[in-house]
Amino acid sequence: MRELSLHILDIARNSIEAGATRLLITVIEDECADGLTIEIVDNGRGMAEEELRHATDPFYTTRHTRRFGLGLSLLRATCERCGGEMRLRSIDGHGTHVTVSLPWSHLDRPPLGDMGASISAIAAGAAQVQLTYRHGVNGQWLTIDTNALQCELDDVGLRTPTVLQWLSRHVNAQLREMRAATLACGPDR
């Protein structure tokens, strides 16, 4: 995958397929500390110890629709290539927690990509999931909570095309504004 947002989308879809009803996605961009952290936490069915041991093996999957699972193994390879790390914790019956830490400035770090499109796609495919998306850029924060958003929309469904398009544009516009407001690291920041 060429963008980290696609890894996030893949893991979120896995969470939804694992029966998650709550999904927390946190992205922290900190250029001054030279760090990018991504956390995805769900309350899905989790993994037994045996599954957890093999979760990053590309030729292991619990799905019946395909014989291999590349998502976590590709993400782990990206982390290793960039001098970062991926931590995977899971408790059978209680959910999974994926944490990725990468050096912000590493030459091989893929771009974050289109977070708006990924968040919109997750919201579209997760009718019964409370999605909370938190994104920090050098100390400024954007938070999207699909339950709160649905309350604001009243009779208009969150998953209508117009709302999903707005969500995608809103996320990307907010991230652009936050990045523009904190372009440089220095004593004034």
Asked whether the predicted pLDDT for residue 187 surpasses 90, the reply is no
* Domains detected in the chain: 4-181 (3.30.565)
- Residue 147's closest CA among 9, 21, 16? 21
The answer to whether the pTM exceeds 0.85 is: yes
pLDDT in tens, 152-162: 887 888 889 99
pLDDT in tens, 117-148: 999 999 998 778 999 999 999 999 999 999 99
> Would you state the pLDDT for residue 73?
85
> Would you state the pLDDT for residue 60?
57
Task: Write out the E strands in 92-187.
Answer: 95-103, 130-137, 140-145
Asked whether the predicted pLDDT for residue 182 surpasses 80, the reply is no
Task: Write out the E strands in 82-139.
Answer: 85-91, 95-103, 130-137
Mean pLDDT of the chain: 88
pLDDT in tens, 33-80: 999 999 999 999 998 887 877 777 766 555 544 433 467 888 999 999
> Would you state the pLDDT for residue 183?
63
